[in-house]
Copies of this chain bind each other. A is one copy, B any other.
Amino acid sequence: MKNTPHIPSCEECARHSGTIFRMLKNDELDEINYEKRCSVYKKGSIVFQEGNRTNGFFCVNSGILKMYKTGIDGKEQIIRFAKKGDIMGYRSILSGEAACTTAKVLEDAVLCFIPSKTLFNLVKTNSEFSMELIQRTAHELGDANKYIMNIAQKTVRERLAEILLLLKDTFDMDSSGVLQINLTREELANIVGTATESVIRLLSEFKQDKLIALNGRKIALLDVKGLERISSMYL
């Protein structure tokens, strides 16, 4: 949580296609650059918590975070991850509500905090930015709807296969197919929406069926087509 030694510039960050800031003019970027506050967050630290209000949002410069809701008897439900170029906490300030998820650091992160006021100013004055923000939220809503159907209709087995593929798309694999993300079995279970033991058992099954290879938390996808078939992604 201490201030970072190296403060990333928004100009540089905006070059990355993924960022919402890419269509800002130079003077607007300058303003954000001036208003933002960057900090280093160590693994395990919590950036903001479900139920609390924030007076701004976060932009991920580096690192990985999980965003989850806490349910019955404290069980986490992971809603999404955030990595370089993603923004977090914007939903709640846009809707004027308290945060609906908690954001926790999985891999040491550098985050920039941007005050709501700056965001609202941009929405007011730059309709392209505004449009981009709407697009992003609308797209995420589409994902959420899809997720609802999956979780309601698919078996745990199908969902686990789908999540593995989703992790591949989000975090990529190395040359030998190893997913570039470290998750505990419990965290996997909290994405899929099932018990830890079920994930363990199903992963072993997938391994037996030569769909994946396991080495501790390293998961390698050996047969993507096979996983797609199981997940029945394209109904």
Contact = CB atoms under 8 A, between A and B. Distances in A.
A132 to B, nearest CB: 11
Given A146-B100, A148-B144, A135 B79 contact: no
A20 interface: no
Contacts of A75: 153
A100 B143 CA distance: 9
Interface in A49-100: 69, 71-72, 75, 77, 79, 90-92, 94-97, 100
A184 interface: no
B142 A77 contact: no
A135 B95 contact: yes
A144 B144 CA distance: 6
A97 B124 CA distance: 25
A95 B139 contact: yes
Contact of A135 (B94, B152, B232): B94
A140 B137 CA distance: 10
A30 to B, nearest CB: 21
Interface centre among A75, A90, A100, A193 (most CB of B within 10 A): A100
Contact of A69 (B72, B96, B124, B145): B145
Contacts of A71: 149, 152-154, 235
A91 B142 contact: yes
Interface centre among A96, A131, A142, A149 (most CB of B within 10 A): A149
A152 B148 CA distance: 9
A123 interface: yes
Contact of A100 (B120, B133, B145): B145
Interface centre among A125, A141, A193 (most CB of B within 10 A): A141
Nearest to A98: B142
A92 B140 CA distance: 11
Given A90-B138, A152-B193, 11 more contacts: A69-B146, A72-B154, A77-B148, A77-B152, A92-B138, A95-B141, A97-B142, A124-B127, A134-B137, A137-B141, A148-B193
